[in-house]
Amino acid sequence: MQTITERCKSLSHCFTNYIFMDYSRRIKPCVESEIGKLNYVLLHAPGPEIEHMIPENAHKFLFSDMLNQREAYNDYRDFQGTLKKVANVLTVRELLEDILKKEDLKLELIDKICKRENLTFLKNELESLSSSDLAKAFIEGLENDNIKERYIMPPAPNFFFMRDASFTMYDNIMISKMATTVRDRESILLQAIYNNSPIFDVKTVNPVEQYAPNGIGRVEGGDVLMARHDIILSGCGARTSVEGIKAMVEHLKTKGDHRHLISQELPLEPESFIHLDMVFTLLDVNKCMVFKPVILNPEYKTVHYEIFENGEVKVYEEENLIEALRKLGMDLEPIFCGGDDEYNMLREQWHSGSNFFTFAPGKILGYERNYNTIENLNKHGFEVLTAADVASGKVSVDDYEKCVVAFKGNELSRGGGGARCMTMPLHRDAVEW
């Protein structure tokens, strides 16, 4: 039987000439690191749904500011264009429209979402919509004739933060148990896509529902990092709870291998610390991006769950995340968000200065606006490229051993997330450590 690593290698070869919607070659998700060469990624561009926010309801939808759709998409365009140069890009809207052509599934999703959101009075209207119009309603909302309340069915403005509602762990896609009900629809729709689109061959797992006692707990993908094939990292804070982490441990016990899950406590405030990837991301086999005031601060506990082949679990407290990984053979050089000045660290972390997406070892995407962070990366050997140049084909990332592709994010960053937040990797090559 092939190991996960061997399967990753063979799949990456057969996917080379893959054509989107060629159902004869189904995608079997496989992710066992944060840095392996990216082959498939799921995206959703910010659309009209992000302009639902007004000062009175922005906080309800988990935003601290209001975004302008045109400006946000201008930021997003070169980000998406860069990913299209390095991997196969799938989009939520296309996949959702496709599965909604199945009448029984369409009715099932309408019923489930209407019950979850107390919108059963809308069932008949939603059932009358075409697959494309229903997909639009699920994402952009359904407008109301009543001027007092613009939307009778609220939109899903967080959907472009693709990382949160699901994440790939080895050969499973994990369905998140979101911390807030306003994002439940995202998980429901994504699970329906993974389970019903003929493009996927995958088993989905909802760890909280399947393993946590009484379904208590929460897990969001922004908190879960695949450090190495045997090491998983998880934030523990406002969005992912201890119960959710223990549910992931229970799932890992079913794999029958020796693995490690390292939990990093996060501050509950301010809101820029909602996920682990807002203070820590992996950049290469030996480099990571770190927000020093949290990751190297002994005030925030680092807990190590060691999971043995027989299902036994041992729990230890570690000095910090960097030291815990070093003990396991991952000797990482921390590169500090904001550079060496703590004032700049605080400013740039707020705008996702620690949140980088690695699409191949040593090749990363991040916001251009975090100048001190980008300069620090350059000092550590990363050539600085613009996403506009990469997306247009003017330069190629293949010509560089290490590079940071910087894209404009003045509008997107106001949404409270960065490049990693906006991606859902489905398949990566295995890494030679």
Element (H, E) at 90: strand 88-91
Distance of CA 126 to the CA centre of its chain: 29
Q: Which whole-number Å values give the CA distances from 141 to 46, 51, 144, 154, in the listed order?
A: 14, 11, 10, 5
C-alpha to C-alpha distance for 32 and 229, rounded to whole angstroms: 5
Average pLDDT, the chain: 91
Helix ranges, 314-357 (H): 321-327, 342-350
CB neighbourhood size of 278 (10 A): 29
Query: Which distant-in-sequence residues (6+ apart) come within 8 Å of 406 by Cβ?
Result: 366, 367, 368, 374, 384, 385, 386, 387
pLDDT of residue 270: 82
- Asked whether residue 89 is domain-assigned, the answer is yes
Q: Amino acid letter at 282?
A: L
C-alpha to C-alpha distance for 244 and 333, rounded to whole angstroms: 29
pLDDT of residue 272: 81
C-alpha to C-alpha distance for 225 and 421, rounded to whole angstroms: 12
Question: Domain containing 378: what range?
Answer: 4-16+29-96+155-428
pLDDT of residue 1: 37
| Of 46, 38, 51, nearest in space to 424 by CA | 38
- Asked whether residue 102 is domain-assigned, the answer is no
- Asked whether residue 401 is domain-assigned, the answer is yes
- Asked whether residue 386 is domain-assigned, the answer is yes
| Of 410, 421, 422, nearest in space to 371 by CA | 410
Q: Amino acid letter at 240?
A: T
- Asked whether residue 119 is domain-assigned, the answer is no
pLDDT of residue 414: 85
* pLDDT 10s digits, 58-93: 666 656 677 888 999 999 999 999 999 999 999 999
Asked if residue 25 lies in contact with residue 15, where contact means CB atoms within 8 angstroms, the answer is yes
Is the bond preceding 155 in cis, omega lying within 30 degrees of 0?
no
Query: 10: domain CATH number?
Result: 3.75.10.10
How many distinct structural domains can be found in the chain? 1
Low pLDDT (below 70) residues in the chain: 1-24, 57-64, 146-148
- Asked whether residue 433 is domain-assigned, the answer is no
- Asked whether residue 202 is domain-assigned, the answer is yes
DSSP line for 269-291? -SGGGSSGGGTEEEEETTEEEE-
- Asked whether residue 113 is domain-assigned, the answer is no
Asked if residue 227 lies in contact with residue 325, where contact means CB atoms within 8 angstroms, the answer is yes
C-alpha to C-alpha distance for 384 and 48, rounded to whole angstroms: 32
Q: Which 3 state secondary structure label does DSSP give 45?
A: coil
pLDDT of residue 60: 67
Q: Amino acid letter at 125?
A: E
Looking at the chain, how many residues does it have? 433
